[in-house]
Amino acid sequence: MTNFKTKRQQFGIGALLLMLIVGAVFTGVGFFILKSTKIDPSWVSIPGTVVASSSSVGSGSTTYAAVVSYQVNGQTYKVTSSSSSSSYPTIGENRNIAYNPVHPDQSKVVQTAGTVWFIYIFPVIGIICLISAPYLFIKARKRNSAISNLMQSGQKMQGVLVDIQAQGANSNSGYKIIVSATNASGTVQNYVSDFITGIGGLAMADFRNTPIPIDVYIDPTNPQNYYVDIADIPNLSPDRIASLLKTALQNRQPNSLVGTQNPALTQTPAPSFTPTPPSNPIVPPPFN
């Protein structure tokens, strides 16, 4: 049966590819939207009026784009904004548009500065992902190499688990364990592990009352370079966890008095008493 295995969080090939794909999508979509809002300097800008809206549904939500009407040489034209939002546009609101003086039917709605800055968020996030992905991957590879070297040539110290710390608002953010061990100089020091996941079994272990030994590998030349060996963390099987839960529930139930005797509650029955009539009954004197 599968155990709840504690693992060290790693940035592997899968995470690298996923982050690169997300970065490419955000960058491409962002620059596409920016290009669609860019206006040719030779175009003419005039005020227009919002007369309707164009709605679209995606990802379970509806967004609305303003439809703006404008006039050139007495001819009325309409153009739909390239940006949309979850709020319905105000009919009759003024919006600036820019049109091609040679072909007045070619036009774009002039976006506000706030909208343009919001659009820039998409390519910025994409570029950050594209830069961060290889950096995090290389960093993870170097950490794996350092751990391998520490376990081969580092000084092995045995400590005990003293604490488990969550590294975020939810369990998906990962955890770190704190191990207390005596270093080479005889001083007790706390060592913090890498980010780990899958501590379901460890969290149920009573490590405060029953010490759990965990090894720490320390670089003799640089004591700040160390590795807490999470392979030593005991893994609890589903059967063992079910047994622990059953025991905990039984301990919470009050002791039953049925079928037990409590000397303090045992009472001696009172002796019975039967009145005995007198052998010579007393006769009252006769009335004169």
At 232-253, the pLDDT tens digits run 665 544 554 455 445 545 555 5
**Domain residue spans of the chain:** 40-109, 144-232
Q: Compare 21 and 60 and report the one with higher pLDDT.
A: 21
Reduced to 3 states, what is the DSSP secondary structure of residue 126?
Answer: helix
Q: Compare 211 and 172 and report the one with higher pLDDT.
A: 211
Residue 155: band (very low, low, confident or very high) from pLDDT cuts 50, 70, 90: very high
Q: Compare 229 and 268 and report the one with higher pLDDT.
A: 229
Q: Is the pLDDT of residue 180 over 70?
A: yes
Report in angstroms the alpha-carbon separations of 71 from 44, 110, 288: 12, 16, 144
For 60, phi and psi rounded to 5 degrees?
A: 80, 5
> Which architecture does CATH list for 144-232?
Beta Barrel (2.40)
Determine contact, residues 99/109, Cβ cutoff 8 Å.
no
Residue 29: band (very low, low, confident or very high) from pLDDT cuts 50, 70, 90: very high
The answer to whether the predicted template modeling score (pTM) of the entire model surpasses 0.75 is no
Residue 204: band (very low, low, confident or very high) from pLDDT cuts 50, 70, 90: low
* Least confidently predicted of 96-100, 144-148, 213-217, 231-235: 231-235
pLDDT at residue 256, rounded to an integer: 42
Residue 42: band (very low, low, confident or very high) from pLDDT cuts 50, 70, 90: very high
Nearest to 217 by CA among 196, 193, 199: 193
The terminus-to-terminus CA distance of the chain in angstroms comes to: 109
Residue 122: band (very low, low, confident or very high) from pLDDT cuts 50, 70, 90: very high
Tell me the average pLDDT of the chain: 80
Q: Compare 61 and 137 and report the one with higher pLDDT.
A: 137
pLDDT at residue 206, rounded to an integer: 66
> Which DSSP state fits 264?
G
232 burial (CB, 10 Å; 0-12 / 13-18 / 19+) is: middle
Round to whole Å and give the CA distance between 107 and 80. Answer: 9
Q: Is the pLDDT of residue 271 over 60?
A: no
Q: Is the pLDDT of residue 3 over 70?
A: no
Reduced to 3 states, what is the DSSP secondary structure of residue 213?
Answer: strand
Sheet of strand 75-80, all strands in order from the earlier edge strand to the far edge: 75-80, 61-72, 44-58, 94-99, 107-109
Instruction: Give the list of residues 6+ apart from residue 245 with CB closer than 8 angstroms, or none.
Output: none
Question: Which DSSP helix (H) or strand (E) runs through 243?
Answer: helix 238-252
